[in-house]
Amino acid sequence: MAHRTNHPVRHLPLGLPCTALTPETRVDCSVMVRILGLCQGDPNSRSSYSGSARQCFRAVGRIDALHTAVDASIGQPLQHVLRALASVRARRIRGSQLLGAWSPASVRARSRRAADLARRARDQGADALLLYGSNAHPKLADPSLDLPSGVALDATFAQLARSKEGWFQHLSPRESQRCIAEQQRVFEQCELLWPRTQWCATSLREDYGIAPERLVVTSAGSNLDTPPAAHGVHDGRTLLFVGRDWERKNGPLVLAAFQHARRQRSDLRLLVAGPAQQPHGLPAEGVEFVGPVHSEARLHDLYARSSLFVMPSRFEPYGIVLVEAQAAGLPVIALDRGAASEIVAHGSTGTLVQHEDPEELAATMLAWLSDPARLKAAGDAAVAHVRLHCTWDLAAARIVASLRPLVRGG
């Protein structure tokens, strides 16, 4: 049996109370696990992985399994050098950010820093590693490091490359394969991998050849610190879109569908939140452009004012905002792509549309908004669905439970 050491343990601020865990998610504390979190970015920042790393480490801390969480990224000057070298080799600027982050030299540099941090934490009592970011592993720099480890991720590089979204559209197939090979090297150092969804787990099996017994699907929760209040009466007319990336999250489709729907119901209105600048086509009749949302109170207010959440993203590794909208009591309309079907219960907590068709989406909007009783029932079901299936406490419990047999004395 592993025992606590007398070394001091530093936890991240917790903030949220731990929810009641189901029998499936309770963690047997007879064998303690002291996890070092290695994050490619500030682990306590809302900007690192959109705040997901922060919430994951805090949830691990709530079950007293976090040794500490640290920033394992390399310094900005070295990052700029590696990015510049990648740009020169590729003979272009576009895509150099990805190529610089995934070059062998970059993976080596990050791995050396991670190894230094891991050795120091091991000497202070850490006995396992949780990596947030899959472009480094301490064992690539120090193969003798004897700590079981895993990576938490919402999508693989192979999935991102296939999406052709953002910077990934600028990579050639050969460049993508080189980056995938670097990610594969990191995965090979891990005893476990923690994909959030079965969709991601399928890529790990099929694109990377990872054995199923090394995969633990964790799910994930809201990145908001304050839970929403119970949703009031639905007005049956207000739709909400939240997303900074207007194009990838299919804002133009939402706008076109809304305009179709408004021809049948002139009282409808659409709130658009997230984009830094007003998108093309706005302002439009019945549309309110909210812009960036910087406070949780403002976001909660938007959820409370709305009856239906609409975000049919073309590509969404794990739609945290879909979780947050449902937690606020809103039915959700999403495009049936990626992991959406693992977040939205089709027909119960929302609708998964099959096609990027404005008329189909408009008809779905109108069907929901014309039935206040259905909106209320689906909103209540959405809240219950999230509490049962989409929480960081659930993810943390699965991570810790899977690591426990691998630690010394486990």
Which domain range does residue 152 map to?
Answer: 35-221+391-406
Token pair of 19 as six digits: 């929810």
Judge whether 285 lies within some domain: yes
Q: Residue 4 falls within a domain, yes or no?
A: no
What is the phi/psi pair of residue 21, to 5°? Answer: -90, 145
The pLDDT value given to residue 93: 55
Number of domains in the chain: 2
Residue 269 backbone dihedrals phi, psi, to 5 degrees: -140, 155
The Cα–Cα gap between 221 and 113 comes to 29
Q: Does residue 375 share a domain with residue 312?
A: yes
d(CA 294, CA 316): 21
Residue 47 lies in a domain: yes
pLDDT at 248: 95
With contact defined as beta carbons under 8 Å apart, do 248 and 312 qualify? no
Kindly indicate the confidence band of residue 174, based on its pLDDT and cuts at 50, 70 and 90: very high
Instruction: Flag whether 203 is in a domain.
Output: yes
The CATH number given to whatever domain includes residue 336 is 3.40.50.2000
Range with lowest mean pLDDT among 52-61, 72-81, 208-217: 72-81
Q: Are residues 263 and 353 in the same domain?
A: yes
Residue-level pLDDT at 337: 94
Environment class of residue 257 by beta-carbon count within 10 Å: exposed (0-12), middle (13-18) or buried (19+)? buried
Taking residues 351-370, what's their average pLDDT?
A: 98
On whether both 141 and 267 belong to a single domain, the answer is: no
**Residue 302 domain-assigned?**
yes
Q: What is the pLDDT of residues 236-278, one digit of tens each?
A: 999 999 999 999 999 999 999 999 999 999 999 999 999 999 9
Asked, for residue 26, whether it belongs to a domain, the answer is no
Q: What is the pLDDT of residue 100?
A: 77
In a shared domain, residues 124 and 142: yes
Q: Which residue has 């002291």 as its token pair?
A: 34
pLDDT value, residue 311: 98
**Tens digits of residue pLDDT in 4-30:** 232 222 223 333 333 334 444 455 555
Instruction: Please state, rounded to an integer, the average pLDDT across all residues of the chain.
Output: 89
Average pLDDT over residues 130-148: 97
pLDDT above 70 for 1: no
The reply to whether 292 and 334 lie within a common domain is: yes
402 inside domain: yes
- The pLDDT, as a whole number, for residue 11 is 29
Is the domain of 216 the same as that of 354? no
Residue 71 shares a structural domain with residue 207: yes
Is residue 75 over pLDDT 80? Answer: no
| 188 shares a domain with 60 | yes
- Using the predicted structure, report yes or no on whether residue 65 has a pLDDT greater than 50: yes
pTM (2 d.p.): 0.89
Instruction: Establish if 23 belongs to a structural domain.
Output: no
